[in-house]
Amino acid sequence: MIPELPDQLLAKSPRPGRKPVTLEEHLQDTAVCAAQIFRLNGRWGQNWCRFFQISTAEEQFLLNLQVAALFHDLGKANEDFYAAVSQPGFTQQTIRHEHLSALMLCLPEVRNWLSQDSRLDANIITAAVLSHHLKAFDDSTSVKDKERSERIKNYRWGHVQTLKQSVVLYLQHEEVTATLQRIVDLTDLQEIPSLPKTAWRPASEWEQAWRKGKKQFAPSFKRDLRKNTQRRSLLIAVKAGLILSDAAASGLVREGYDISDWIEAIVHSEAIAANEISEKILLPWIQQIEQRTKKPFKFHAFQEQAAEQGKKALLLVACGGGKTLAAWKWAEQQTQKYNIGKVIFLYPTRGTATEGFRDYVGWAPEADAALVTGTAKYELEAMAENPSESIADKVFRTEADERLYALSFWSKRFFSATVDQFLSFMEHSYQSLCLLPVLADSAVIIDEVHSFDRSMFDILISFLNTFHIPVLCMTATLPQSRRDELVKAGLKVFPTATDRASEALADLKELEQADRYWLEPVADFSVAFDKAVTAYQAGLRVLWVVNTVDRCLAIAQKLEAVLDGGVLTYHSRFRLRDRQKVHANTVKAFSFSEGDVPKRAIAVTTQVCEMSLDLDADVLITEIAPVSSLVQRFGRANRHLKRSFATLHPYMPPANLPYQRNDLETANAFLESFETELVSQLQLATALEIYARPERDADGSSSFLNSGYYAVPGSFRDTDEFAIPCILDSDLDAIESLVKDRQPYDGFIVNVPHKWAKAWLEDGNPRPEWLPKYLNVVSGAADRYQVNRGFITKSPEEVELG
């Protein structure tokens, strides 16, 4: 019996004052986006195929993508979905619509129909359709994270989410028929198949299709992908292409854009011209430097030579040596070798990405420059209040663009971003997947690769091994095991030992072999404390780095009692709005300007100071940490070689955590290996290769590469459940107002140990109903939070300092 059919099938909930988007229209829009974004005579289409290494299967890719686009939401033709988008308050659907779409593709009559065109890969189309919302899970897959396992259990393919035993389907509707006919018109298929008239229910042909797909199609397909890397490449290109085509179709229609006009203007804009980086980035920066220093600027020889290192390179140059300028020169060369439209700098933290934007990317016109982090809007607003020369009088991003979310970045040309924003597509991040065509159209520079945790580094290696894209990785120092992995993944090391010995790089040799540090380990905290007080009172700039926030706060308070104030504190437990100020004050206190007489300063920090911060201390005191961390900390001293040397005072901390005891003992042996007190950056790098702990090789896996039919978001970084995003109870009223007005509240968020959020609830405080689920609440009392000290978990008397 054919059910009574609605006049229209809806793809989205109708919006007031807007024409409803029908299912047929949305499917057609998605197919149009796919065809126009990835047209094979366009730069994006060509770079997409190059990126995925499917240049021999370009036409097959585009055809399968368009068919998947026309199929992906056909499962919305059911009574539950129609009620959900047409009846206010109806939300619960028995089975996810994309799961139904995939079931259609597992019907024998549909499989037989698709087999008429040998260019179509039914398994690839099914996998793309099933996983396009990243909510398709195979319950036979092991998930180590119990919390994540609980969260995704409802994403199991075919999982029933209500007590209903049947769902009426509208597969005889003319919109479904018309969509299938479009597939016929696009391919060599014959007349459309006859679809079932029966409702979805257990023990029906629908359950048989599900069992066929789950027990036969999906497992055999996944096994074949392990051997057939070309088919895997085609699969992931189609899966990602469908997600962003769907996002483009939905976003552009929602915001009232003409799809063809927008894609033509944004996607098919001109490639980066040969002189564009020089004119937009380098020349304005150089002019500012020359104006400040009153000297003509000249690139170092290694910076010029870095440009000639090819499409995949690893740049290893000392802290403060000028790696970023070398990277821009390399990127400039890539724009002459590749027909690309973007240059992307990726950093491990939001703070370093923001500094990269402020120092370099911000010189570009605001229409071309983008900061892409989880808190970019807030960071840009804060920068506008106190703009640097690079961003003065510029306004970045518009409200209209923001409503397009990740698509708003498609028009940009120069990026400073956190590595998560662009590489977490490897773990099925939706935002990152929507930025993937930008990445495929780019030359990418990945900074501070030494700091990547094991999960991040594994994904980096998989990325380098899988995708064809010009990549430059950079750092000052790198353990030999990681260097070997990067070389094995195709990166060319520069400069090599031979390069460094050449006369052409005499300036780099001088930089790296200069006696930069006076290494003077001290016995314990007490001696270190005296050294800090004496140095500060002598007018020097003293940077003290410790391994835990508790000790950072306790030492700062102890110093303040002796020095009568003036002690800066910098760690990870500040509200963002306060951390920005602390960050700026710390950088300013330890910055170097030509001709300036440095003023005395003292700061106590944690590991947050290790990466990309332009700090230039006279005296650096540090708790012993793993070797690579120590070398990075040392790089915050005598950064510009404007003094004979900086003094380093390492000492053993009172406890191992957050590190392992053997790592600290190895670091101590590393320090004892130096035969002279005067130490150069080259000596540090050489010793690092000997003493850094060897690591296992990456296994080449990632969820994006290995999921076959399925896709659920994973974790890009090693999970850290110790600290979670929180807000202070004293900020609740202000944040509630911002949430209701749909204004950003990032500035109020602070990462705090989990137990303090739990303690707030255990004290009888009710969780506000309006509070976003990912946020927790902690006490904002004066003994718990201070704007210049951050969140305090222990009184100084409770902290063992050694």
Q: Are 611 and 632 in contact (CB under 8 A)?
A: yes
* Per-residue DSSP letter, 200: B
- pLDDT, position 640: 79
Rg (alpha carbons) of the chain, rounded to whole number: 29
Segments in the chain below pLDDT 50: 144-147, 398-400
Q: How far apart are CA 131 and CA 101, in angstroms?
A: 10
**512-691 shares the fold of 276-510:** yes
- pLDDT, position 151: 66
- pLDDT, position 744: 81
- pLDDT, position 398: 44
How far is C-alpha 257 from the geometric centre of its chain's CA atoms? Answer: 28
What are the CA-CA distances from residue 314 to residues 79, 234, 475, 498, 605 (Å)? Answer: 56, 29, 8, 15, 29
Amino acid at 202: P
What are the CA-CA distances from residue 362 to residues 273, 354, 368 (Å)? Answer: 19, 10, 9
* Per-residue DSSP letter, 550: H
Q: How far apart are CA 729 and CA 458, in angstroms?
A: 39
pLDDT in tens, 224-246: 999 999 999 999 999 999 999 99
- pLDDT, position 727: 94
- pLDDT, position 593: 61
CB burial string 335-364: b at 16+ within 10 A, e below = beebebbbbbbbbbbbbbbbbbbbbbbbbb
Q: Are 746 and 576 in contact (CB under 8 A)?
A: yes
- pLDDT, position 152: 74
pLDDT in tens, 253-302: 998 999 999 999 999 999 999 899 999 999 999 998 888 888 899 998 99
Q: Are 692 and 627 in contact (CB under 8 A)?
A: yes
Three-state SS at 244: helix
Q: How far apart are CA 110 and CA 103, in angstroms?
A: 10
CB burial string 259-291: b at 16+ within 10 A, e below = beebbeebbbeebbeeebbeebbbebbbeeeee
> Per DSSP, which regions of 554-664 are E strands?
567-570, 601-605, 619-623, 646-651
Q: Are 709 and 130 in contact (CB under 8 A)?
A: yes
For residue 729, give both structure tokens.
């109870």
Domain map of the chain by residue range?
A: 23-266, 276-510, 512-691, 723-798
Q: Are 583 and 375 in contact (CB under 8 A)?
A: no
Q: Determine if residue 637 is left, alpha or beta; phi over 0 gives left, psi from -120 to 50 gives alpha, anything else beta.
A: beta
For residue 413, give both structure tokens.
């040309």
- pLDDT, position 1: 59
Backbone angles phi and psi of 600, in degrees to 5 = -65, 150
Q: Are 167 and 75 in contact (CB under 8 A)?
A: no
> Per DSSP, which regions of 476-526 are E strands?
492-494, 517-519
Q: SS3 letters for 639-690?
A: CCCCCCCEEEEEECCCCCCCCCHHHHHHHHHHHHCCCCCEECHHHHHHHHHH
Round the average pLDDT of the chain to a whole number and report it: 90
Torsion of CA 703, 708, 712, 714, to 10 degrees: -10
- CATH class assigned to 512-691: alpha beta
Residues forming a β-bridge with 602:
542, 567
Residues forming a β-bridge with 778:
728
Q: Are 653 and 547 in contact (CB under 8 A)?
A: yes
Q: Which CATH architecture has domain 276-510?
A: 3-Layer(aba) Sandwich (3.40)
Length of the chain in terms of residues written = 802
Q: Are 702 and 455 in contact (CB under 8 A)?
A: no
- pLDDT, position 707: 94
